[in-house]
Every structure is written in structure tokens, then in C-alpha cells.
Chains A and B, each alone.
Chain A
Amino acid sequence: MILRLDFKPEGMKLLRVEIEAEDGFASRVQVRGDFFAHPEELFEEAEEALGGSPIAELPDRAFDLFSRPGLSLHGVDAAAIAATLRKALDANPLP
């Protein structure tokens, strides 16, 4: 199943998260929005690295991955992404 949620964390851009979930694991995670991330590739690597995570661990893993040194974020930060993912999971309880 696919979980989607739009959320605007305080002081951040509107974030749109999409989680493809299967058997308690995330097969794909995407964080979309009008923010900036430098370099863009590092942001996408962090998204890809979330694939395969147990759903319940997604927010914490996302926080770590998007906090990586070398990734510079404007209009979004790791805490905002983690919070948006958490909201998406809370809003869509999995069986």
C-alpha cells in the first residue's frame, strides 16, 4: 500500500511524503516539495537508503540519514522530514 501525507512543519516548506509499504517494511520513500538540498544526489541517496526499513523505524532512520554531514538543506531539515513521516504513519495505521 501507498501512504501519502502533506504537512507543513513550522518554519518549513510544505512537505509531501509518499511511502510504499509492504509487510511492515518501506519499499520506497519519497519526500517532495519546494525546498533546496545541496547536493541533490545526497538527498536522493538518503531517500533510497530508507528503502527496506521497518516502517516503525522510518522517522528515526530518516532523521539520521537526512542529518548526514555534507547535505545542506534549505526550507526543510531532518527533524521536519522525520516529523512528517511520523504523521503519515500515525494517519495510516497499518494492519
Chain B
Amino acid sequence: MRIRFLDTGPNPAAFNMAFDETVLEGIARGDTQPTLRLYSWKPAAISVGYFQGLREEIDLAACERLGVDAVRRATGGGAVLHDAEVTYSLVVPEGHELAPPDILESYRLICAGIVEGLALLGVEAAFAPINDIVAGGKKVSGNAQTRKKGVLLQHGTLLLDVDVEKMFTLLLVPQEKLKGRLIADVKQRVTGLRGLLGREVGYREAAGALASGFSSAWGADLVQAEPEAAEVEGAHRLAEAKYATEAWKFKR
């Protein structure tokens, strides 16, 4: 299996989401190869799941104050603070061996690469259906998938570090959720590589391990490439026309 491999490093939220969709569109048209991309977020950002109400999940004034972006994903799931993390996206046509019809099975196949990458870093982790990866009983990676136009897009995070206080400064916590999920509870349930390994792990080291893990778990030959100029331009256009617009951000 050959997969094009991109590492686009840090970019703003709207561009990151637009790039993933641009690759999906390219594969749907048949002019883009299956693609794995690693990336990060600058500035830090909160993404909300496709079905969430952005205004009711995020304290936009706090985001403004702290210089944190807010964006709606094309994928479902919950709000995520993208700060100290490596993010990946995998885009492959449906029917590809990583994209079987069963959604849970495809999560399992794709997430095996993250489990393997963590093992390379010395962390014993396991896939926790439907879309998490846990290590030492705590979540270290969350993942989300959508399928459009016969193409699967899955993106997810590998946390380098967790700042629960910052997370809760930026997220609006509903009363009902507050009961079951206090800040202390999240500290018990979520961790990053720093917490697991007791040392700083930077983007480069984690990204290297993640790429090796994906390659090994999938039996894939990752072909390192630079993004096509047209694809970068397309992503910038889509970021402006969709992901950065009020209409998309506040569509729910």
C-alpha cells in the first residue's frame, strides 16, 4: 500500500480544515492519491463537532482574549482544544483497505497506527471504541471520521500535553455536563505524552513516531511529498469561502 505523506506543520484552523476537505475533493475527482497528513495549529484553536452549536460550546470572548481560533469541523464529535498536539488526517477512497464499509472497523484499522506510534515512544496504549485511544486508563487521542463522495476522511489528535484549566476557560460547560464531568474528572480521564512519559515530547519527535506507527500498522509505504501548489491555493480559497465564514461557523 502506498500513501502520499505530507507534513504541513502549523497553520490556522480554517486552513487546516479546508486542506483536509481539499484532499477529499481531489480524491473524489480521482486526481489525488490516498493521503496522510500531519499538522498542528497556529494559533491554537478550538474545533467543534459538525453537529454542535459553536456559540453554546465555546466562550468566544475568552478565545478572543487568549488569541485562540474557533472552527467547525466537517466531522462529528465534541469540542477539542488544539494546542500541544500532533494532528493527523487520513483521506482514502471508500473500498480502500483502510476504509471498509463498517465505520467502527475503519476506526480500528486507522487508529492501530496511533497505538503503534505510541508503542514506539514507549507508551502502551489501546484502541477504545468507537474512536478513542487510551493509555494508562486515560484518553490520549481522539478521532473523528466522515465519508463524502465515496471518500473517507478521518482526522484525530495525539496529545503532547493537556492544559485542562485553559480548556475550561475556553469551553462553556453546561450545567448538566458539569455534574458528571468536573475539571478534576477530566484531569483523571485525559492525558498527553508529557504526562505519560514524564518528559517534554515535541511535535517533531511525536510526528516521527506517529508516521512510523502508521506505516508499520498499515503495512504502508509512506511517500513523503510536498503539497501541490494548486491544493494549497484551493485550501486557502476554501478556508475563506467556507471554514472562516460566519455562515459555516454558526450554521448550528
List residues of A whose CB falls within 8 A of some B CB: 6-8, 13-14, 16, 30-40, 43, 72, 74
Residue interface mask B46-64, A partner, CB < 8 A = 1: 0001111100100000000
- Asked if A6 contacts B77 (CB within 8 A), the reply is no
Residues of B within 8 A of A16 (CB): 53, 56, 174
Could you name 5 residue pairs across A and B whose Cβ atoms are closer than 8 Å?
A6-B175, A31-B51, A32-B51, A36-B131, A72-B103
List residues of B whose CB falls within 8 A of some A CB: 49-53, 56, 74-79, 103, 130-131, 144-148, 174-177, 180, 252
Residues of B within 8 A of A33 (CB): 51-52
A39 to chain B, nearest CB (A): 6
Other-chain residue from B53, B146, B177 in contact with A40 (beta carbon distance below 8 A): B146
Other-chain residue from A8, A14, A36, A43 in contact with B144 (beta carbon distance below 8 A): A36
- Asked if A38 contacts B52 (CB within 8 A), the reply is no
- Asked if B130 contacts A74 (CB within 8 A), the reply is yes
Given A6-B176, A16-B56, A30-B252, A37 contacting B51 (CB threshold 8 A) = yes
Secondary structure call for the B interface: loop
Given A30-B252, A38-B103, A14 contacting B176 (CB threshold 8 A) = yes
How far is B77's CA from A16's CA once the two chains are assembled, in angstroms?
14
- Asked if A36 contacts B77 (CB within 8 A), the reply is yes
Secondary structure call for the A interface: strand
Residues of B within 8 A of A35 (CB): 49, 51, 76-77
How far is B251's CA from A32's CA once the two chains are assembled, in angstroms?
11
Residues of A within 8 A of B76 (CB): 34-37, 40, 74
How far is B131's CA from A8's CA once the two chains are assembled, in angstroms?
20
How far is B51's CA from A32's CA once the two chains are assembled, in angstroms?
5
Residues of A within 8 A of B176 (CB): 6-8, 14
- Asked if A34 contacts B52 (CB within 8 A), the reply is yes
How far is B101's CA from A38's CA once the two chains are assembled, in angstroms?
11
B97 to chain A, nearest CB (A): 19
| Residue from B50, B53, B174 having most chain A Cβ neighbours under 10 A | B50
How far is B56's CA from A30's CA once the two chains are assembled, in angstroms?
13
How far is B77's CA from A32's CA once the two chains are assembled, in angstroms?
11
Residues of A within 8 A of B252 (CB): 30, 32
Residues of B within 8 A of A8 (CB): 176-177, 180
Residues of B within 8 A of A30 (CB): 252
How far is B177's CA from A31's CA once the two chains are assembled, in angstroms?
17
Residues of A within 8 A of B130 (CB): 36, 74
Residues of A within 8 A of B145 (CB): 36, 38
- What is the chain A residue whose CB lies nearest that of B49? A34
- What is the chain A residue whose CB lies nearest that of B57? A34
